[in-house]
Structure 1
Amino acid sequence: MATALLIIDMQNGLYDGPEKPFERERVLGTINQLIQRARAAKAPIFVARHTGPTGSPIAVGSPLWQLWPGLDVDEARDHLFNKTRPSCFLGTDLAQQLVAAQVDELVIAGMKTQFCVDTTCRVAVELGFSVIVPQDGHTCMDTPALSAGAIIAHHNATLAGAFVKRMKANTVEF
């Protein structure tokens, strides 16, 4: 079986919106390093784009829906797909693609920690996949209740053990 990289919602509307993600440049660099290492290992790379309905700011093809140009994604080689929910699995064929590629372990990185990253980690485990979360490979924005740093630390602690294997990105192997 194999390990795949899953990158979630690294799109213009989130990455470069009015509220900037916590440590966004560092996280982008970390994700690009994961992409390079996955490619070197010939591991499949899946890239999710959150997609809104026609007419929304993140409708298919809109400028805010596009992947951040600094993300080292190769649309000809990597598996790009659209999702409409926090889970990368609900309403998509991601699970079937992973099974077809004989993937049993996912490395999950991207945005936003408390929504799509958290939900996708939990659902992936329910579907029988092992999950690795690079603790330095996901981000979000401050909320009125918590700083982004606190949200990230909380989710790293909450997900670790019962749901995911948490590690530094530079120790992840594909």
Structure 2
Amino acid sequence: MADALLIIDMQTGLYDGPEKPFERERVLHTINQLIQRARRAGKPIYVACHTGPAGSPIEAGSPLWQPWHALDVDASRDHLFNKSRPSCFLGTDLEQHLKAAHVDELVIAGMKTQFCIDTTCRVAVELGFSVVLPQDAHTCMDTPALKAEAIIEHHNATLTGAFVKRVKAAEVFF
């Protein structure tokens, strides 16, 4: 049973930017289902917002920096925090919050698969956390080299075993 949910970079500027994430509506719905299950179980929800430097389109507090309006997060009870690197741990107090909440197993969802999802999964394991990656609860955009679907499939396969326990979101229990 998972102890906490971490949602990464589901922000207006990324989710609703000029390049749309692969299957974005389905992924949003899936993440919102995870949020509801974590809430019902009384488990903490952490929401990472990628934050650019002052003057950038995603500087803290800007319209594009905000969590996507249909993401079912609540700043009054969920733990929203800023990050400026692909790792949700580098330069943040996430590790301290997770340890204070006695989190051993962390569910990770959001975007972008090949950057922040991949990096955060790997670092979390290095820090001693067990990671559950719902294979259908993270996404990204097409790149010049690969379609988003191939990127997601590749990372689901690559991270499984050494870094994450890969499951379908419907199989995640808090």
Matched, 1:26 2:26: yes
> Which aligned runs of 4 or more in structure 1 are off by greater than 3 angstroms?
none
Whole-angstrom CA distance in 2 between matches of 1:18 and 1:2: 34
Match of 2:161 in 1: 161
Structure 1 unmatched ranges of 5 or more: none
- Asked if the contact 1:2/1:102 (under 8 Å) is kept, the reply is no
Whole-angstrom CA distance in 1 between matches of 2:63 and 2:94: 24
Match of 2:111 in 1: 111
- Asked if the contact 2:107/2:134 (under 8 Å) is kept, the reply is yes
Partner SS for 1:103? coil
Aligned length: 174
Match of 2:46 in 1: 46
Match of 1:142 in 2: 142
How many Å apart are 1:2 and its aligned residue?
A: 6.0
- Distance change >3 Å, CA 30–CA 12, structure 1 → 2: same
How many Å apart are 1:111 and its aligned residue?
A: 0.4
Alignment-mate amino acid for residue 5 of structure 1: L
Whole-angstrom CA distance in 1 between matches of 2:104 and 2:93: 15
Deviations 1:101-137 (A, max 9, x none): 0101110000000000000000000000000000000
Alignment-mate amino acid for residue 13 of structure 2: G
Structure 2 counterparts to residues 70-85 of structure 1, below 5 A: 70-85=70-85
- Asked if the contact 2:2/2:172 (under 8 Å) is kept, the reply is no
Match of 2:98 in 1: 98
What percent of counterpart residues are identical?
Answer: 81
Whole-angstrom CA distance in 1 between matches of 2:61 and 2:47: 15
Match of 2:55 in 1: 55
Alignment-mate amino acid for residue 88 of structure 2: C
Whole-angstrom CA distance in 2 between matches of 1:43 and 1:34: 11
Alignment-mate amino acid for residue 29 of structure 1: H
Partner SS for 2:71? coil
